[in-house]
Each structure stands twice: as structure tokens, then as C-alpha cells.
Amino acid sequence: MAKTKTSKSTVTPLGDRVLVKRLAADDKTAGGIILPDTAKEKPKEGIVMSVGLGKIGDNGERHGMSVKKKDRVLFSSYAGSEIKVDGEEMLILAEDEILAIID
């Protein structure tokens, strides 16, 4: 089953939803300038923590997911909904909001 178990809570995405943990933002620019927290952009990359079972099509059959747990993914800046799970910021987004899987 597609579940993520933490010390207190278990979050299971429904349908074609994916639970993603954002990767840490860079502290420096390419030129070596150190960025304060207020100037950092939210990362657009993350690690898939858990996935739903997939979307149910018009014919009643469930379509499998393209991503799996531990995939590193790329998504747009405003994708999904931010939530906190046991004090950690996570993102729940639909599978079609994921732009790419990074190898």
C-alpha cells in the first residue's frame, strides 16, 4: 500500500495524488554569493515520499502511476498544496503537475 509512516502520522495520498518532500534550497548562487533565507526561492525539486493508487478512468479501470516512492521529481513553483506532517513541510500534488523524473 502507498503509505508514508512517520513517528506520529501516516499520510496516504488518494487517487492520482503524490506526497513530495522538497529538497533543500541552495545557499549560494552560481557566482558564489551567499543568499539569505528571505531571498531564496522555494525548490522545484523533491523526493516522492508516497503515491496514491492511480486515477480511475471513464471505463472504471485504475490507471497506474508513472512515479514511485523515492523518485526525484521536478514540478512547477505553484504546484500542489503545502502541508505539515509532524513538523515537516511536504507537498501534495496531482501526478499531472509533475513535470519530470530526474535520474
Asked if the structure places residue 56 within a domain, the reply is no
Asked if the structure places residue 97 within a domain, the reply is yes
For 29, how many CA atoms within 13 A lie in the half-sphere containing its CB? Answer: 7
pLDDT tens, 9-66? 788 899 999 999 998 766 776 777 777 766 666 778 999 999 999 999 899 999 999 9
Buried b (16+ CB within 10 A) or exposed e, 7-33: eeeebebeebbbbbebeeeeeeeeeee
Asked if the structure places residue 70 within a domain, the reply is yes
Asked if the structure places residue 53 within a domain, the reply is no
Asked if the structure places residue 42 within a domain, the reply is yes
Asked if the structure places residue 54 within a domain, the reply is no
Asked if the structure places residue 75 within a domain, the reply is yes
Domain carrying residue 91: 6-27+34-48+61-102
What is the count of structural domains for the chain? 1
Asked if the structure places residue 13 within a domain, the reply is yes
pLDDT tens, 82-94? 999 888 899 999 9
Question: How high is the pLDDT of residue 68?
Answer: 94
Residue 68 makes CB contacts below 8 A (sequence gap 6+) with 48, 51
Q: Identify the CATH number of the domain in which residue 18 sits.
A: 2.30.33.40
CA–CA dist 84, 15 (Å, integer): 20
Model pTM?
Answer: 0.77
Longest dimension (CA), the chain: 54
